[in-house]
Structure 1
Amino acid sequence: MKARYQYRFYPTDQQEERLSQLFGCVRVVWNDALAFCNQSVSVAGDATRTTKLPGYSKLSAMLTQSKKTEERIWLSDVSSVPLQQSLRHLDVAYKNFFNSRNGKRKGSKVGSPRFKKKTNSQSAEFTKAAFSIKDEQVYLAKIGEIKPIWSRILSSEPSSVIVIKDCANRYFLSFVVEVEPNLTQAKHISVGIDLGIKTFAVMSNGEKAESPDYSKLDRQVRKLQKKLGRQQSNSKRRNKTRTRIAKLHNQITDIRKDFLHKLSTRIVNDNQVIVLEDLNVSGMVKNRRLSRVISLLGWREFRNLCETKSNKFGREFCTVNRWEPTSQICSDCGFRWGKVDLSIRSILCLSCGIEHDRDGNASKNIEKVGMGNRHDSKWTTREGKTILVAQPDEASRIIAPSGR
């Protein structure tokens, strides 16, 4: 399986100037090709009409011709590999867009490709022909040797590398490598996880994971966003405020990623089967009161991390249908008490008399449904149970005809 390793680096002034030129050329090539494709494609609502979408080969030939003109002759000053990769990415983006519209691509609908802006995150991809690694330094064609901060060793030889500059002017190298699955023995058989707002994750084994507090950083972001809306467009002060907002967003993202990675790694290492509830996050975000909090928590990102790491470590990952009444059933006796308001966090079962924590009870039910023990709650509490295999002395009862 493939994995991505990302490292930060600090370019020199000369390298920063060359990278800025490279990002600008990649952005211009993408926008020129997209403008040409828009002449062949017209989208009106859900109806899509195409004449003849130019493929990668035609776009590549147009790029070669444009380098010979006076308007685009400066495209030859940078490596041609990132420019060609930009056209490949555009071709894939259009294929995904049309496959999504035609129903050939699973998942949510994919929008049409958009023009790239200078103020957004910038990136350029180098394949094997345009980069090399030697003596802990990465050589990029027409950029020079870059020394990233090697926080961990690459598991194998990378097939490609992407140079990234985010909105806060930070630089990263992202390598794509092959990773072998690490098959180890887990401590526990299974675990059910109920995700929440106040407590991020409540597990069926009784553990709880509290989410980091983003409120202070979020208040600073909202304050600066109001200030940004009052400033003049394309002014130096507006760009300075925009950079400050980007740095705060990156700080929130880094805190969230660190928390989610550590939590998901611990859960996957300790359990053979991980069961989560299939939450409708996109629908829950439409709630005006909870949308900002849900977006900061990163429920979907946590699910993706658990699923990816389960494949890496040889674990089984499964989800429970969002319509399962996991919060409406007693996890001990199976008694169903129905819907309960979100403000009620503790429930006393009228059948068995046990008081349950709302989230803890839901996590136990999620584990049972995920492991296929949906109807076993009342079954296991019976004193007399039906024997699946008949005993020798019961042969006459089974074989002999009834006395009717």
Structure 2
Amino acid sequence: MTKRVFWKKGMRLTDEILTMSDNCTLNIISNALALSAVGRFGLFPNLHPFKLSVDINKNTIDIVSINCLGITRNGTLIDVTYDTNYTNSFDTRTFIPMNSEDKLFLLCIGSNGEWRETHDGLCENVYTFSVIEENMEIPTNSLPIARIVYDEHCWRVDEINFIPPCLFISSSDAFEKEHAQFLHILTKLDATLPKKFVTESKDALKIFWPTIQQLRITMDKEHDLMTPMELLGNIQNCVSSFVCACTLDEYINLGEPEEFLNFIHAPYNFRNVYKLIQTGIRLCSEIYIKVENFNEIPSTQQPAEIAAPYIDREQLKQTIKCGSVKIKITNPTPGATVYYTTDGNTPSTASMSGTTIIIDSGFQDNWHKEPPRIVTVKTIAVKDGISSKMETFEIHIRKQNLFEGRRI
């Protein structure tokens, strides 16, 4: 906790006291000017991490102990470490408004620049605690340190969904954990994506893989100075790149992208950034699973239409004395192979192929009268693994009357 010299009449000033005072002043000025100039506020990285213990009795909040090193929006340095079980140099109580169980509140610590004399001949800053509604503007000389919620007939501190604003992710173990989780997902994606170039999703990979490598480098090399806002932005960049890659690749159908899009467009807010980053890490985990199943993702590409082969109407009725008839199949798709059957079965790539069918009439000779014959021909065309619709034709073969037009 920062202290300054408290002057008393007749007090001797020593070099040690003056040096302590000068060093304290320089530290305060350098830290405050460096950060308040850009309007940032939050916790500093500290060898002694932020800790807070409170006792809530009905609507009264009593701060039992706190370790906090941070800065407010107007540049006021918050540097306090104490435990009220041993020292209690200022009022550590504040109150929640009555009949407000349906609201959320932020517990804030602030300073008005007042100093209090301690027993060792020095002075310490006097800090005050206050409670404001969560959606209200934070006073410029205050720093939010906890969210207070009403749950199961009592007030409590929300230790799951709220982290005090931090200047860097290294200011909080919770943000450090999220950073490690995201970097782990990036590492797995970077190792998996090159293996998927054997699938049809090459266009998506060409867009997504470079982004993953760039993010992996950024997360590793810029860790020390990374802010929670930058961590959130990197995760949004990852999700955005994946959505764009899937949209531009005709072989991938993302399904329902609404949750991904909502996360991409979510604005930064220190009140919910911790929970928002958690959501982003969950989406990135889902992305990894989708990448693993790239070759199983349903394709959005509609199969190309292959025109069905056909037989001209004029060829459906044949007249012959005996022997075989030739039927020509018209193939309207260049490069396609025509397959056909003459026994009524469905044609496949294992059936006979070609555009000329030779059908035996089955007639015995040129002289005896025989009944006509009907042959069912079924055809398909196949190109690049895509098959046309099957067409069915009936060929009527009639025996020619040898005495037609002759006089007996």
- TM-score bracket, shorter-length normalisation: under 0.3
Per the normalisation by structure 2, the TM-score is: 0.24
For the pair shown, the structure with the greater C-alpha radius of gyration is 2
- Structure with the bigger percentage of strand: 2
- Structure with the bigger percentage of helix: 1
Per the normalisation by structure 1, the TM-score is: 0.25
Q: Which has the higher contact order (CA 8 A, sep 6+)?
A: 1
